[in-house]
Amino acid sequence: MIVGIIPARFASTRLMGKPLADIGGKPLIQHTYESAGKSKLLNKVILAVDDKKVAQVARDFGAEVVETPKNLETGSDRIAFVAKGLEEAAIIVNIQGDEPFISGSMIDQAIEPLLFDRNVNVSTLAKKIERVKELNSPDVVKVVFDYNNFAMYFSRSPIPFVRGAASGKDAINRTEMYKHIGLYVFRKNWLLEFTRLKQTDLEKTEKLEQLRMLENGFKIKIVVTELESIGVDTPEDLNRARAYYNWLIKKKERK
């Protein structure tokens, strides 16, 4: 069984109450849940929430919900908490709760390596960077990977460093640079092993938990996608998501 789990944390430092933020008359978390449900490979989608109000709202729109302890530090910890109780689950997909328009196709792209190669235990997505703003933003995580598409490093800084580039635009034109899309697929036993590990030095430095995997020898398969999503971390992101939703509605009305 392949189970998608969406962690939703109420007390976001940059956008308090983010799961319940309204986008076109629906809470953000409902958009994410419904988008994930369009995957052709997921057998089930579960919300992992740390707040009773969010849990009730989610149940009201028909979601399967598991309430998790508030003291869990990361989304991966919340995912693992739920996964432990899923005896039939072989593959767990960590779908970020703040991706209201994540496409089912993106989720399926990330899952496929684990279906076709038993040696792949963790996979995630990356997309080519096309805008200098993304390259320079510490909120956009960059990734470099080897010729077999296994991650070598993740960073909030632009990587690789393009020696001799006159500008960020020049760097993007000279070489392919990729941003990480934070959707992870785990074989269940690897997820549980990962979340038992202590935080590592590079993870603490960059504030990126995927570096804990690399520092402990995990191999992360990178799937390059041409699809895009909108992560909501700040009030500005929320406004962008609302504008995008309004555009989608108008597009449907014109058909």
Q: What is the dihedral of CA 180, 102, 111, 105, to 10 degrees?
A: -120
Higher pLDDT, 252 or 196: 196
76 pLDDT more than 70: yes
Peptide bond into 160 cis (omega under 30): yes
Instruction: Provide the pLDDT for residue 144.
Output: 98
Q: Work out the average pLDDT over 96-115.
A: 95
Average pLDDT, stretch 161-186? 94
- Structural domain count of the chain: 1
Q: What is the three-state SS of the chain?
A: CEEEEEEECCCCCCCCCHHHCEECCEEHHHHHHHHHCCCCCCCEEEEEECCHHHHHHHHHCCCEEEECCCCCCCHHHHHHHHHCCCCCCCEEEECCCCCCCCCHHHHHHHHHHHHHCCCCCEEEEEEECCCHHHHHCCCCCEEEECCCCEEEEEECCCCCCCCCCCCHHHHHHHCCCEEEEEEEEEEHHHHHHHHHCCCCHHHHHHCCCHHHHHHCCCCCEEEECCCCCCCCCCHHHHHHHHHHHHHHHHHHHHC
- Summary mean pLDDT of the chain: 93
Residue 10: which domain range? 2-254
pLDDT over 90 (residue 71): no
Instruction: Check residue 109 and give its pLDDT.
Output: 97
Q: How confident is the model at residue 89 (pLDDT cuts 50, 70, 90)?
A: very high
Rounded Cα distance between 133 and 177, Å, is 13
Q: What was the pLDDT predicted at 114?
A: 98
Tell me: pLDDT of 146 over 70: yes
Mean pLDDT, residues 49-57:
92
210 contacts 147 by C-beta, under 8 angstroms:
no
pLDDT at 248: 86
The CATH code of the domain that includes 238 is 3.90.550.10
Look at 9-18, 84-93, 183-192, 227-236 and tell me which has the smallest mean pLDDT.
9-18
Q: Minimal CA–CA distance to 12: which of 67, 51, 60?
A: 51
Share of the chain above pLDDT 70, in %: 98
Q: Which of 32-41, 108-117, 210-219, 245-254 has the lowest mean pLDDT?
A: 245-254
Residue 14 has pLDDT above 90, yes or no: no
Q: What integer pLDDT is reported at residue 228 of this predicted model?
A: 86
> What percentage of the chain exceeds 90 in pLDDT?
82
